[in-house]
Amino acid sequence: MSEKFHSISILIPVFNEIKTIEEIIRRVRAADTGALAKEIILVDDSSTDGTAEILKRFTVAPDIKCFSHPINRGKGAAIRTCLQHATGDILLIQDADLEYDPADYPKLIKPILDGRADVVYGSRFAGGTHRVLFFWHYMANRFLTLLSDMLCNLNLTDMETCYKVFRRECVQDLKLTAERFGIEPELTAKLARRRYRFYETDISYAGRDYTEGKKIGWKDGLAALWFIFRYRFFD
């Protein structure tokens, strides 16, 4: 018999997303989570474009919790702050830039609700509808996923995906240290080390280019190589 879940926390790290932040909040609020009560946790990572002022409008909303960092620390640090305040039985990471569609929530949470999975990743490379963009970004993502899979003994197709969903107990005592995009290989390595049941599902993906505000770059890709080894063997 599957476990009874009552609530889900949507964790949204935010940095300089003034053009998309109100729309992503609207989409997350409208997303179907079935009978699960939904709480939305936003952490502004010291935005400089006016995003913080927009988030102040939502501080009185009963379904939203807003927090901020006084200095920019990175996506990993923002996710850690989200985790400190999350109360849901299921936790789901959502970017604030509209690349990932909250309409995919039902397929992301279903394996957990059914009692089959502890962790679910949403894959951009598993057949879902996606915007066609950069070949070398695609190759870098596939290479990093392959390396992570080899070291963690997994067969994921998209380790770097934003959409990572967990049962609460999987991460509530997990020591996370990554500040920036190293949070992706860190979560993967540490969850795999604990031998949780991983599932993966296809998702839609509307990627941005750099003129539209994409932030991750080649330096983050090089850093990810070190993080994959570090979090698998040395942390």
pLDDT recorded at residue 215: 58
Confirm whether 54 is domain-assigned.
yes
> pLDDT at position 147, please?
93
Look at residue 233 in the predicted model and tell me its pLDDT. Answer: 74
Q: Domain with 136 in it: what CATH number?
A: 3.90.550.10
* In a domain? residue 1: no
- The answer to whether position 183 is within a domain reads yes
Residue 2 inside a domain? The answer is no
Tens digit of each residue's pLDDT, the chain (235 residues): 357 899 999 999 999 999 999 999 999 999 999 999 999 999 999 999 999 999 999 989 999 999 999 999 999 999 999 999 999 999 999 999 999 999 999 999 999 999 999 999 999 988 767 666 667 778 888 899 999 999 999 999 999 999 999 999 999 899 999 988 899 999 999 999 999 999 999 999 987 565 555 556 667 667 777 888 787 777 6
pLDDT at position 1: 39
Alpha helices in the chain (DSSP H): 21-30, 51-56, 75-85, 105-113, 135-152, 168-171, 183-193, 218-229
Residue 126's pLDDT is what?
81
- Domain enclosing residue 97, as ranges: 7-234
CA 151/CA 125 separation, integer angstroms:
20
Domain count, the chain: 1
Residue 119 lies in a domain: yes
Q: Is residue 65 part of a domain?
A: yes
Determine, yes or no, domain membership for 152.
yes
Q: What is the pLDDT of residue 152?
A: 92
What was the pLDDT predicted at 231?
A: 78
Q: Is residue 76 part of a domain?
A: yes
Provide the whole-model pTM. Answer: 0.89
105-112: Cβ within 8 A, 24+ apart? 105/31, 105/32, 105/33, 106/32, 106/33, 106/34, 107/201, 107/202, 107/203, 108/163, 108/165, 108/201, 108/203, 109/8, 109/33, 109/34, 109/36, 109/165, 110/201, 111/199, 111/201, 112/5, 112/165, 112/167
